[in-house]
Structure 1
Amino acid sequence: MVLLTTEGIPGREYEVLGMVKGNTVQSKHLGKDIGAGLKTLVGGELKGYTEMLSESREVATARMIQEAESLGANAIVAVRYSSASVMDGAAEVLVYGTAVKVK
């Protein structure tokens, strides 16, 4: 599956199949949450949360690809990511785009 952030595929013909999306809500365990709280006192990267969001993006992207494949797509254009805090220590990652079939 080809994923593009551009609005289309220059120089290629394709059929638009529709919007596709994937999302997930994940959290870290209490130990990581306490460690992150302490880290905010001294500053620096919160590696546990960086890992959590990276894993979330991978899961959400895989779900979007699965939805696109079910439509017969071989590419997704205009891919965008969004994230939001759901509660302390938990975040939602949403990815969406337009499924297309490149001819």
Structure 2
Amino acid sequence: MTVSKTDMLICTTDTVPGREVQQTMGLVRGATVRAKHIGTDIVAGLRNLVGGEMTGYSSLLAGAREQALDRMKDEARSMGANAVIGFRMETSAIMNGASEIVAYGTAVRLT
């Protein structure tokens, strides 16, 4: 596995094969809240009648996941980490039509 100095290794496991945790920096997280758009709701309502993927919602959530992940990586970098282990991502509805995406894990420096 080759990871450049500017890349941030993200893994769901607590260890990285062939690498050793040199220092643990602590918990890092990134979050975003996204709301649906009325136009997306109309298209999704029509799609619900005939079936198929609701691409508007898929795109909305994909963008939210990337933003939460980027925010978590930025926090880890600011702590001096080069990896995040034990990575998890959660989604929750915080109100009708709005969802929160949270990415979190443990920032570490690997050898």
Pairwise same-fold verdict (TM > 0.5): yes
Instruction: Show the 5 A alignment for 1:1-103.
Output: 1-14=8-21, 15-103=23-111
Partner of 2:16, secondary structure, is coil
**Counterparts of 1:41 and 1:26 in 2: how far apart (Å)?**
25
**Counterparts of 2:105 and 2:88 in 1: how far apart (Å)?**
6
Q: Report the RMSD for the aligned CA atoms in angstroms.
A: 1.2
Range moving further from structure 2, 54-63 or 6-15 = 6-15
**Counterparts of 1:26 and 1:16 in 2: how far apart (Å)?**
31
Gaps of 5+ in 1: none
Gaps of 5+ in 2: 1-7
CA contact 1:28–1:48 (8 Å) conserved in 2: no
Partner of 1:60, secondary structure, is helix
After TM superposition, the runs of 4+ consecutive aligned structure 1 residues lying more than 6 A away are none
Q: Which amino acid aligns with 2:17?
A: P
TM-score, normalization by structure 1: 0.91
Q: Which amino acid aligns with 1:102?
A: L
CA-CA distance at 1:6 after TM superposition:
1.1
**Counterparts of 1:18 and 1:7 in 2: how far apart (Å)?**
13
Aligned length: 103
TM-score, normalization by structure 2: 0.85
CA contact 1:33–1:89 (8 Å) conserved in 2: no
CA contact 1:77–1:98 (8 Å) conserved in 2: yes
